[in-house]
Amino acid sequence: MTKRLLSLILSTLLFISVVLFVVSCSSSEKTETTAKETTQTTETTTSSQQTETEKQVTTEEQTTEEVELTGREKMPGYEDIDFGGLTFLINATVSDPAENWHDDKTIWVEGITNDSINDAVWERNDVMHKLYNCNIEVDSSGGTAYDADVAAGSGRYIGTTHCYKALAIASDKYYNVLKLNVDFTQDWWDQDFFRDLSCDGKLFSMCGAFSLIAKRAVWICYYNKNVYDSKFEGIDIYQIVRDKQWTFDRMIDFIDKIKYDANGDSTYTFSEGADADILGYMSTAHNYRSLYFAGGCRYITKSSNDYNGHFVASLVDPNGQETIQAAINLISNDGYLESGYSNCDKAMANGTTLFVSNVLGQLIDVKDAEGLRLGVLPMPMATENQDGYHHLPDNHATFLSIPTSYADISTASEFLTLFAYHSYMLVYPAYLNTYKYVYAHDEESGEMVDIILNSICYDPGYLANFADSFNGYVSTMIQQNKPGQYVTAATRYSQQAEQKIDEYRELISKIDDNY
């Protein structure tokens, strides 16, 4: 009995041990599984959070990268500017109302007219009014009120536009703009202007994206696409320009192939009749100095290309005589005709010439010609060895000066920067688009205008008359086929240019610009 009881007890204990072991193992497995699942869940959650964070960062980076400035938001770095309702009044030059030389309309317009440039000027002013709490106004009454205000020192006007007369502008009436708190190396300023016309660290005018009259005055070449396609379809003249092969000689090749003597009298003349000759190239006598500059020649250069460089008389140019000869070769071709502005316009409009040279703004006179398809080109180079294309602005070009009677330099600097920036963002694109779709008739013409406006020669020898006698003689040598007189004439007239330079440098040395 006792043995049997003891055996039963031992069996029961063994069973309980086995059960406890099984339960223990099961619990351990569940704990381990739960731990693993928890770890996996944690890892999955962390990974998911990291992925979401990465997505968020990536999205933020993409958003930052994709933000494109339009000119309708505040200029970066100028977000805090508020002019407190100030009105910025600019005196404007209207040098020739009959010929559309209206500086006033590049500053202020009354409202929307569906003219792209007009509407861009209106939008720029409206944007600046809303963003910076200011108003822009223009006075085109003739300058009497402006002169009185400057004389009295009232400071009502922040600026004035005028043609470049260096000896008249250089005075204590105008700020040396290089001393203003303005970064003129930005794209909305004309780098060529500041490089070419600064002297001894001083310059009394500025040129930027708002200077549409200065751009309008630049000499260019343009062509009748219908006439061109009649002989040269499949030859991309714009690619010739891009490849830097657009030269006087290449132009002569086109002239020779297109000219047509309708009545067989061995001469090429302009007429509007049905039996009119087809000319290769037409322009006016004013074009000859433009050809000289197109060849890369200058009347006056700089001792260095920084603002501190001074003017140097460079009438005796190493390539001067060669350029004169190349220009003579071009205009002595019997397919070229010198004529008046109106005849050039008519010949372009009625398809009796392939090429015309004139100032950029002259295209407005032929834009409505029925059936005309027009393209814009740079002035050709004298040779392919040049460093690039060069373009002369006519002396109608106007620039902006800031009178010292406007005493708040900080405000003036901020306004000028913003005026140039928003003009660059809003007005300049409209200007290019006008040449693509209104004056000319293809996308590439906008590209060509951009090339032209980024290769302007602002020569004080021409613009400020430092070399006025030689300037006239350049045209004479080309017109009368006298290249051999170049060196003698350039040497003789250099003295006049040097005297003007010395006079100018002495004048500006006496102007205290320690504002």
Nearest to 515 by CA among 418, 413, 407, 411: 407
In the chain, the number of structural domains is 2
Nearest to 345 by CA among 330, 327, 359, 331: 359
Nearest to 431 by CA among 364, 357, 379, 378: 364
Amino acid sitting at position 492: R
Tell whether 333 is covered by a domain: yes
Q: Does residue 331 sit in the same domain as residue 358?
A: yes
Q: Rounded to an integer, what distance in angstroms lies between the CA atom of residue 359 and that of residue 372?
A: 18
Residues 325, 331, 334: CA angle, nearest 5 degrees: 125
**Secondary structure of residue 88 in the 3-state scheme:** strand
How is residue 75 annotated by DSSP? P
Tell whether 50 is covered by a domain: no
Q: Does residue 347 sit in the same domain as residue 493?
A: yes
Q: Does residue 161 sit in the same domain as residue 259?
A: no
Q: Does residue 338 sit in the same domain as residue 207?
A: no
Q: Which pLDDT does position 515 carry in this prediction?
A: 82
Tell whether 413 is covered by a domain: yes
Q: Does residue 151 sit in the same domain as residue 295?
A: no
Q: Which pLDDT does position 167 carry in this prediction?
A: 82
Nearest to 467 by CA among 314, 308, 334, 249: 314
Q: Does residue 300 sit in the same domain as residue 402?
A: no
Tell whether 439 is covered by a domain: no
Residue span of the structural domain in which 473 resides: 219-393+463-509
Tell whether 445 is covered by a domain: no
Give the torsion sign (CA, 106, 110, 111, 113): negative
Nearest to 322 by CA among 165, 490, 192, 168: 490
Structural domain ending residue among the three candidates 433, 451, 485: 433
pLDDT in tens, 374-386: 999 999 999 999 9
How is residue 74 annotated by DSSP? P
Tell whether 79 is covered by a domain: no
pLDDT in tens, 408-421: 999 999 999 999 99
Integer-rounded Cα Rg, in Å, for the chain is 36
Q: Rounded to an integer, what distance in angstroms lies between the CA atom of residue 122 and that of residue 111?
A: 6
How is residue 65 annotated by DSSP? H
Q: Which pLDDT does position 95 carry in this prediction?
A: 59
**Secondary structure of residue 161 in the 3-state scheme:** strand
Assign 514 a pLDDT band (cuts: 50, 70, 90): confident
Q: Does residue 205 sit in the same domain as residue 323?
A: no
Q: Does residue 172 sit in the same domain as residue 260?
A: no
Beta bridge partners of 162: 399
Tell whether 178 is covered by a domain: yes
pLDDT in tens, 287-338: 999 999 999 999 999 999 999 999 999 999 999 999 999 999 999 999 999 9
pLDDT in tens, 62-75: 444 568 999 999 99
Tell whether 483 is covered by a domain: yes
**Secondary structure of residue 390 in the 3-state scheme:** coil
- Worst-scoring range by mean pLDDT, 99-113, 199-213, 244-258? 99-113
Q: Does residue 104 sit in the same domain as residue 186?
A: yes
Q: Does residue 317 sit in the same domain as residue 303?
A: yes
Q: Does residue 401 sit in the same domain as residue 301?
A: no
Which helix or strand (DSSP H or E) is residue 439 part of? none
CB atoms within 10 A of CB 425: 21
Q: Which pLDDT does position 314 carry in this prediction?
A: 97
Q: Which pLDDT does position 99 carry in this prediction?
A: 63
Q: Is 207 exposed, middle or buried (0-12, 13-18, 19+ CB in 10 A)?
A: buried
Q: Of all residues in the chain, what percent carry a pLDDT higher than 90?
A: 80
Q: Rounded to an integer, what distance in angstroms lies between the CA atom of residue 241 and that of residue 151?
A: 50
What CATH number did the domain enclosing 161 receive?
Answer: 3.40.190.10
Q: Which pLDDT does position 66 carry in this prediction?
A: 66
Q: Does residue 479 sit in the same domain as residue 352?
A: yes
Q: Which pLDDT does position 59 carry in this prediction?
A: 43
- Whole-model pTM: value is 0.85
DSSP secondary structure of 463-515: HT-TTHHHHHHHHHHHHTT-GGGHHHHHHHHHHHHHHHHHHHHHHHHT-----
- Please state the rounded mean pLDDT for residues 433-439: 90
Assign 169 a pLDDT band (cuts: 50, 70, 90): confident
Q: Which pLDDT does position 188 carry in this prediction?
A: 98
